[in-house]
Structure 1
Amino acid sequence: MNQIINNIVIPHTNRTIGSEKALISAKECSGSLKVVLQFGFPAAFLANELRQQITQHTGQSVELEIRQRILAHKVQAGIATIEGVKNIIAVASGKGGVGKSTTTANLATAMAKMGARVGVLDADLYGPSQPTMLGVAMQQPQQRDNRMIPVQNADGIQVMSIGFLIDPDQAVVWRGPMVSQALQQLLFQSQWDNVDYLFVDLPPGTGDIQLTLSQKIPVTGSIVVTTPQDIALIDARKAIDMFNKVNIPIMGVLENMSVHICSHCGHHEAIFGTDGGKELANKLNVPLLGQLPLSLPVREAMDAGTAGNLHAQYEKIAQIYQDAALSVALAIADKGQDFSNRFPKIIVESQK
């Protein structure tokens, strides 16, 4: 019986229950088969499909329990993970206007709907947009023990942004050191509540914030967002080169605005070129996480702060983001576990 279950392919992946060592137990109880599975990535959303698969392969009525044990995984050498946060995912573009913040908000929403505990840190300090996109622009973080408590949106995503702390009409006119210090305060002085995946929405470029991220913040992996346009791909390569130089692995490339679909006639037109993101991913030998159309419903949902409703109403769009989020979660689960917080700190003091 165990072998039959172990051979079952996990939906939306090319992996089996056996390859993930997910089977905890399978016991016959009161005429049905009670199966317990445990995964190192968000899998609660797969419950119905897995139950159907096991029922089909075993020919028995199945009572299925799915557990998730998402661990902290390896980051840059010499940097310890943050209390309350297991894995940090940087979302970068190299160029503005390619939909990086939109991608961050929707990947976070997809991951939360898959059953993970998710956070978003808005590191675009000059143009914070995550409070608006995630529907919490009118809220304020509370304080406890001199630490800020991230605001939580309707989908349970924990959100922290400089946008909560400044007048929305006020320009942030700060030099590099001030920006770097603000980023660290937002991350380290926030009381994150057992976050499995924290998405960091980076500003465009490869400047001070990106340097602070690579040197002082434990990053599990990164995602590069681009459009198929040649000029966007040039800047995306710069972001990729930056991550390579600081030893932050790239989990994949997501191509945004891949095609425009006319809302009246359904005609498809590749306004920004064709398959640029796909070719970039192939060149880097990393996954192409998805190709998203230039979509009016996505723009409207981001302006209204209703990403959760977007995913509920537009199945095809939601599926692209879900597949991308699952690919990232699997890549993280494959990484080595982080043990930095288990080692004692050694302090050397000179004796007088």
Structure 2
Amino acid sequence: MDTKQAFIDHVRRGRSSLLRPDAPAEAVDEALAVLGLDDASLARWSVSESVLVSLPHASPNVFDPRMRVGWYAATAQRRDPRPNHHLRVVLTHINFSDLGWRPYAWWYLGDDGKVHCHRQFSRNKKHKHVTVASRPPLEEVPEAVTGTDLAASRIARWGADLAVSYMLVTAVIERAAGMVSAPTATYLPLPVLISFVQAHTEDPPATAGPPGGSLASWCTLLTERADGRRVGPDGVLVECPARQATVFDNYSNLAALSVLGAPQVLGGTKMAGYWPNVQRLLDALRQVAPPDLRDPRTSLVPDADPRRLVRPSPATAAELERQGIPYSQGLAVAEHGDFAAHVDPFDPV
């Protein structure tokens, strides 16, 4: 069995743990399909020649310009005639101090036509470093929520924790935006990737593997080089041995994407800044890699034509300015529907 298929089987075995144990069977089926973890989506991923990888933070908000990443992935998939898959590897260990994604609250357009803010958690000094994944799931339907956001909030309550609830919100909204069509994308928490690497480490490490290396040798060397962290009793990340971690350091997390199957990692200038260190780690790992394991490649999300981007209505724009936040893809869906299915702002023509 090749590495990608071994990882997909790992995902299949553990997918139910992402949902609450009391979720009814029909809710489980719906949630797995929304996340692209159903059998049809996993089968498509299995036969895909390559995967596009994006790394969103666990949040109900995807603000512009970050919403262009999913938009670009959708257009890139439509342009490529080869089987391909989009993996949204969600960083569930982020905390409530994250001002780029603002996971402490959810901004949406209510049934009264106004922008509402539903706060999930306090950002006071004592709590702002608490991780999203350490909090319980979204259990209430926000006030005045309607349309796609209402559907998202209803299914989000079946997440095992708040990070999975946010994954479900994002997945529902991105499908409604036309960025995702079943079964072309899968949403996956980063700890699932880390647990696969840990499951294939050797103890003691092998002194020699088969010709060309082995998955076990590769995972063992990556784990030996990685710095580990896991959530402490107060919900804050603490350092720990890499074999006990739920998240590695940034460079090791990115190197671990190798097991996804010819990954093309979408990013911007921040990703480009990481990559020289990631590449040095990949070069060291290559000496023990199995023949089918392929290094991730970076792909810069191109600039979009500003004339083709969706814009907020004047009333929404004024409210966003008052609240001090950018336009989000959820707000864009409420005002423009499935905009990403009809407009390609990355078309060079």
Query: So what's the TM-score if we normalise by structure 1?
Result: 0.28
Normalising to structure 2: TM-score of the pair?
Answer: 0.28
Please say which structure displays the higher CA radius of gyration: 1
Structure having the larger proportion of residues in strand = 1
Larger helix fraction of residues: 2
